[in-house]
Amino acid sequence: MNSEASFVRHSRRRFGALRPIALSIATLALAACGGGGGGDDEPPPPSPPPPAVLPQSISGSVVDGYVAGASVECRKAGTLVATATSGASGGFAFALASGQTCDTIVALGGIDVGVTPNDPSDDVTPPTGFARAPVPTGSTTVTGLIVSPLSTLVQALIDGGRTFADAQALVKTSLGLSAGIDLLRDDPAANAVLYRANGVVAQLVGQLVDALAAAGGIGSAAGLNALADASFDALAARLASLKTADLAPLPGSLTPSSPLFGLVELAASNAKKDPAVSGALASLNPATFAALASPIVASATGSINTATDIADVVARVHRIEDRDRATSVIGALRGLLDNTASNPQQALNEIAAKLAAADGGTDQALSITIDSETLTATVAGGLSNFARLVSDQLTLKNPLTAPVASLSDFESASGVTVPQELVSVGFALQKSAVNVQLSTTPMEAPLAIEVTDATRVFQAYIDRVAFKPGVGDQVEASLPSGARLWVYGKTASSETTSPLIVNLAGAGLQIVSTTGGAIAFSFDRLFEVIGSAAASGSALDVLAASRVSSGTYDVKLVLGTLRIARSTPTPALATLQAFALRAGGQSVTGHGFKGKVKVTP
């Protein structure tokens, strides 16, 4: 198992280290055979091979469904060469300068807009972590390159020493795909069989990442990427002996000797060795984790594998994400994961039975005992981390009044007018009857807000906002002690090169508060905190002094984890929004609000 766990990461270094040794041996052999100055019959030295034709114009699409707003990176031997942002249908393009090239495309974040980019009802977050694809050589121009979970698996196999052709062939054979399919050229969203296979791999990795993140309390982008890397490494190491049926078994058929159980255990072992997350997972028992997480993973992959067409895959992905079982169940059972399961089959059976019952639509209470320690969890039958926006209204407060605006007016091209200054944005949320995450224990999620006009950009990211039930079915929000704030600013004359980071305490905790059932994000409190911490004359200092006044602004607020739905005419999930801090790397993709505010003097 140890050799498998290091399959991808160490193979990169190992193959690179062998090359100088091999060259040295070859050189010595030639010197021993060459003699002196040579005779007339000595053959001439071979001509050097022609230089490889390297791509400089590279374009393609990021696809799970189509992933819009992803940060797309062009990398050469791990070094960043250029960046782009994927468009509404996942498209990206690089036109590199003379002498530049890249061998790998990496996509991070964004919003999976499904196969209908103009319909927000099928938008979901893309697979956690990152997607990669190798860049073919042999031409200066590469078009139609597909960056997807399947291309990421191909890249992982290449990193492990396989040729490009062998890697493609292995993925297609294992997943039962036609030999004629090109995993880097054929769009999964145009082929139901390919789309389903892509979805199985996406769910396998996504559920593993969610479960490992819940097990270790991991939420940073670097940590989640490390978990995705560990999961793809495990799949690449085991793929030669796997078929789709092994990745998507019935949860009730799992045993400790099942291929999926071993794969989940290997992913956990890989993650424990990654410096980015090893501390958070130091006490994790991989076998116990596999006993608790394997049925949840199988439930998701099995659901996708039985989908009948592309629309059915999209619908099933929505149900999986709405229930959020990997996060809620493993998070609740987190305290058991440092124990040794003497009877893993019992845990597998108990969780599989509750999953089957919950699939009928009713939440199921689960009680698990490992090493004489017992914990409980709820397996969601319906929507879980879900809250409705009351009346689809926002409160846009100015210094004197608190005008209420409809979300549709806020999102319109003309926006909403606020006199004098925008000092806070407020809204009210109601939890659903089947919400199992918003219990008496607060659920924590990141929150980000962005305000821009023609020349200025202001971004703020808070890593921890606590949500809990309030009076009746209301949802309350507050900042827990120890929450941290990252801030970026840009004006016409200056820009933040690294974010201002503030540990919030005292009045800073009032940046987010709840009064009378309404949650408010206060610009007043935020700018007070920034004004006292920013360097005099800096972009943030200037923005804190001028505040959100006299101008027309695009305002975006994004919540992570908590899924926000509009209330009318029927509840429907609000459009996903993506936020990435322009310096510092913090990012969040989630439901929220994006609109326009005109502030008049």
Split at pLDDT 50, 70, 90, the class of 388 is confident
Split at pLDDT 50, 70, 90, the class of 95 is very high
> Are 497 and 554 in a shared domain?
yes
Split at pLDDT 50, 70, 90, the class of 35 is very low
In this structure, the number of other CB atoms found within 10 A of the CB of residue 267 comes to 33
Q: For 433-450, how does the pLDDT look when each residue is reduced to its tens digit (9 = 90+)? A: 555 556 666 788 899 999
Residue 29 has pLDDT above 60, yes or no: no
> Are 410 and 309 in a shared domain?
no
Split at pLDDT 50, 70, 90, the class of 517 is confident
Rounded mean pLDDT of 375-387?
78
Confirm whether 41 is domain-assigned.
Answer: no
Among 356, 379, 402, residue at a domain's last position: 379
Number of structural domains (the chain) is 3
Would you state the pLDDT for residue 34?
Answer: 43
Confirm whether 564 is domain-assigned.
Answer: yes
Residue 20 has pLDDT above 60, yes or no: no
Residue 96 has pLDDT above 80, yes or no: yes
Residue 172 has pLDDT above 90, yes or no: yes
> Are 584 and 552 in a shared domain?
yes
> Are 97 and 130 in a shared domain?
yes
> Are 232 and 373 in a shared domain?
yes
Mean pLDDT of the chain: 86
Q: Per residue in 415-447, is it b (16+ CB within 10 Å) or e — as a string? A: bbebeebbbbbbbbbbbbebbbbbeeebbbbbb
Confirm whether 172 is domain-assigned.
Answer: no
- For 323, the domain range is 192-379
> Are 487 and 442 in a shared domain?
yes
> Are 365 and 435 in a shared domain?
no
Would you state the pLDDT for residue 449?
Answer: 94
Of the listed ranges 218-222, 299-303, 550-554, the least confidently predicted one is 218-222
In this prediction the pTM is 0.71
Rounded mean pLDDT of 229-238?
96
> Are 425 and 479 in a shared domain?
yes
> Are 137 and 101 in a shared domain?
yes
> Are 344 and 471 in a shared domain?
no
Tell me, what CATH number does 60's domain have? 2.60.40
In degrees rounded to 5, what are phi and psi of residue 450?
Answer: -135, 135
Alpha carbon distance 436, 323 (integer Å): 9
Confirm whether 11 is domain-assigned.
Answer: no
Confirm whether 473 is domain-assigned.
Answer: yes
Confirm whether 403 is domain-assigned.
Answer: yes
Would you state the pLDDT for residue 566?
Answer: 80
> Are 372 and 390 in a shared domain?
no
Q: For 40-91, how does the pLDDT look when each residue is reduced to its tens digit (9 = 90+)? A: 566 677 766 656 678 889 999 999 989 988 999 999 999 999 999 999 899 9
Q: For 441-491, how does the pLDDT look when each residue is reduced to its tens digit (9 = 90+)? A: 678 889 999 999 999 999 999 999 999 888 878 889 999 988 999 999 999
Percentage of the residues of the chain whose pLDDT score is greater than 70:
88
Q: What is the three-class DSSP state of 327?
A: helix
> Are 335 and 391 in a shared domain?
no
In degrees rounded to 5, what are phi and psi of residue 447?
Answer: -135, 140
Residue 30 has pLDDT above 50, yes or no: no
In degrees rounded to 5, what are phi and psi of residue 363?
Answer: -60, 145
Confirm whether 28 is domain-assigned.
Answer: no
